[in-house]
Structure formats: structure tokens, C-alpha cells
Amino acid sequence: MNTRPYPPLVNRYGSVGESGEWRVAIDAYYWDKMAEAYEIANNLSASNLQWYRMIEGEALTRERSVTKQVTPWLSIEHVPEEIDLDQAHVDAISEACSEVAGRLGWNFEMGVMVSILLEEVNAPWHGARAGYCMDKYPYDKICIPRAAAVSVERLAQIVRHEYTHVITLNVTRGRIPHWLDEGLAMLMEGESIPLGPNWLAPDPLNGAFEEDRRVTEGIVNSTHAYAQGAAIVRYLYSKGGEVKLAKLLRAFVNHGLWAEIKINLLGEPSVDEALHEVYGFGQRELFQMAKP
């Protein structure tokens, strides 16, 4: 398993550095020790306010929540005073995860906690208000706002999206580019967004996903990025369906020794190696062919 924090959220919220008390707080956060992380963060300055807010939201939820172990690989955390987690909600979460796992050939090698956050967490300062996935220990964690969990249909849709990230993170060891990660999640979710006015090259497209979604411009640009990522993945889907998409994920890590050296030491992107192995073309060609 990749031991790095989930790249999209690290990019979105920023790094807290490699030393100091904030590092201790974030280490506790990645072990999902929310009370410990929150206690440390409360004694620090607001220099890392967005990380503090994420810790705060999950910690306050933990204080008031109960956890239901649904399967050996799935647990659900919720606050009973805010949401009635009936069997329909439990089934929606479990079935959404199982559906995506079946479509992408995943055998539940990593456990996951789905946390339905307190209503007060759904605030303008948060950059992932629709839900997010974090690479934690000893499980990955999907956090969903309470408002999105009221509707069973919407809940299932969000879980399909976020559980896709659990799979891509673990299968590719974090090597998957942002456009492919989010485009595949959109395909699994079943969501469709109209394309924006500009068709971006790979690097600008990856960067657009990381724009500040607390401001209007960031919301617009990131929405267009999701739409383009989804369009590109739909093109890949047309060339071999979900079987080839599942092979593509595994192609990020099944390289020979020389390819691994180029990726790890020279910084060459593994996406081209993976695309050529499965589809016979690279990232640049793909972007040209998928463009409407």
C-alpha cells in the first residue's frame, strides 16, 4: 500500500511540513486518532487553518458518533442524533462499494470507514464539501457530509465516487494522475457534467482539480476539470470497457526494472507506460483523440 497521504487532498490543503508539532498532529490524523489529533491541533496556532478545520470536523464527529461494523472490510461512523442510519442506508453504502469493486476487479484488500460528518462541518471553508477520501491507517476513510447522506440514492452515488479513489490509490500506489482518478470516479458514480469552454493539456488539467473550491473561480475551473476528466475516461471506456480500465490501473505498477527506475529516479510519469501497455497510445495522443 502507498504510505503517502492521498495526493489530491494534500495538494488542496497544503503540506504541514516534516517536523514540529503539526507533524505530530497530522500523524495522529492519518492513524484516525481524532481525539489526539484535535487536542494537539487545538494547542497550535492557526498557521495551518485548513488542516485544523479538517481535523476539527472529523474529531467532533468522532466525539458524538457510533461505529457499525458492517463487513470485515467496511465500517460506518455516524451521529445518531443527526441521521437515522437505517438498513437502507447501510445497504446503499455496502452495495455501492461492492459494485465498484466488482467493476474494477478489487478484492477488498484494504478496509474502509465511511464517516457521515456532522452537519456543522458543511461550511464554506471546506474545500471538499461533496465528500472526500483520505489514505489512513489501518483503513482508508471516506467522509460524507450529512446533507448528502439523507437521500439513499445520493449517498450511493457519492460512495461509488469516493470508493473508486480507495481502489485507485491502493492499486496504483498513488501514481494515477488526477484527471484519470477523478474521471474514473465520475464514470463509476454515473455523473455527467457539460464540458467547459477550454480543453486543457494534462498538466493544466491536473492543476485545475487543485484550485481553491471555496471561491467561485475555483469552483468553476474544478468543475470543468471534472467534466474533461470524465470525457477522457469515457473515451477510454469506448476502447475496451471496464475490463481495460481495470487493466490500466494495474499497469501503473507492473513495469519491468528499467521502467521502475525511470519512474522512481528520473521522475518520468508512469501514465504513459500504462496507457501504451493497455491501449497502445500515450497521454498526449489520448488527449487529442478524446477532444470533441
Name the percent of the chain lying above pLDDT 90.
63
CA dist 230 and 186 (Å) reads 6
Domain range holding 32? 7-172
User: Within a domain: residue 2?
Assistant: no
91, part of any domain: yes
Domain final residue, candidates 115, 143, 172: 172
Residues 38 and 124 in one domain: yes
- The grid cell for 108 is 477488498
- pLDDT score of 4: 38
Contact indicator for 34, 58 with CB cutoff of 8 Å: yes
286 and 156 assigned to the same domain: no
Per-residue b or e along 56-90, where b marks 16 or more CB atoms closer than 10 Å to that residue's CB: bbbbbbbeebeeeeeeebbbbbbbeebbebeeebb
**In the predicted structure, residue 46 carries a pLDDT above the cut 70:** no
CB-based contacts of 258, cutoff 8 Å, min separation 6: none
Same domain, 155 and 186: no
Q: Prior bond to 138 cis, omega within 30?
A: yes
Q: What is the largest CA-CA distance in the chain?
A: 56
Residue 87 maps to a domain: yes
Question: Is residue 18 a part of any domain in this protein?
Answer: yes
Conformation bin of residue 131: beta by default, left when phi > 0, alpha when psi is -120 to 50:
left
Could you read off the pLDDT of 64-115 as tens digits, one per residue?
A: 999 999 999 999 999 999 998 999 999 999 999 999 999 999 999 999 999 9
Is residue 127 exposed (0-12), middle (13-18) or buried (19+ Cβ within 10 Å)? buried
Whether 273 is in a domain gets the answer yes
Q: Residue 217 has what pLDDT? A: 85
pLDDT band at 151 (very low <50, low <70, confident <90, very high): very high
Do 207 and 246 lie in one domain? The reply is yes
Provide the H-helix boundaries in the chain: 7-13, 21-30, 34-42, 49-64, 87-104, 146-149, 152-172, 178-189, 202-209, 216-238, 241-251, 257-265, 270-279, 283-290
Torsion of CA 100, 164, 183, 169, to 10 degrees: -140
Q: In this predicted model, which residue has the larger pLDDT, 259 or 107?
A: 107
| Number of domains forming the structure of the chain | 2
Domain boundary among 112, 146, 172: 172
Q: Do residues 162 and 195 share a domain?
A: no
Q: Are residues 113 and 149 in the same domain?
A: yes
Kindly state whether residues 16 and 154 are assigned to the same domain: yes
74 & 184 share domain: no
Lowest-pLDDT range of 6-10, 63-67, 92-96, 145-149: 6-10
Half-sphere exposure in the Cβ direction for 269 (13 Å, CA): 12
Residues 97 and 202 in one domain: no
- Which of 122, 149, 172 is a domain's end point? 172
pLDDT grade, residue 11 (50/70/90)?
very low
The residue ranking higher by pLDDT, 191 or 57, is 57
In this structure, the number of other CB atoms found within 10 A of the CB of residue 107 comes to: 7
Q: How far apart are CA 92 and CA 251, in angstroms?
A: 31
Please, what is the average pLDDT of the chain? 87
pLDDT at 268 over 80: no
- Looking at the domain assignment, is residue 1 inside a domain? no
Query: What pLDDT is attached to residue 5?
Result: 46
Looking at the fold, whether 149 and 212 belong to one and the same domain comes out as: no
Are 110 and 140 within one domain?
yes
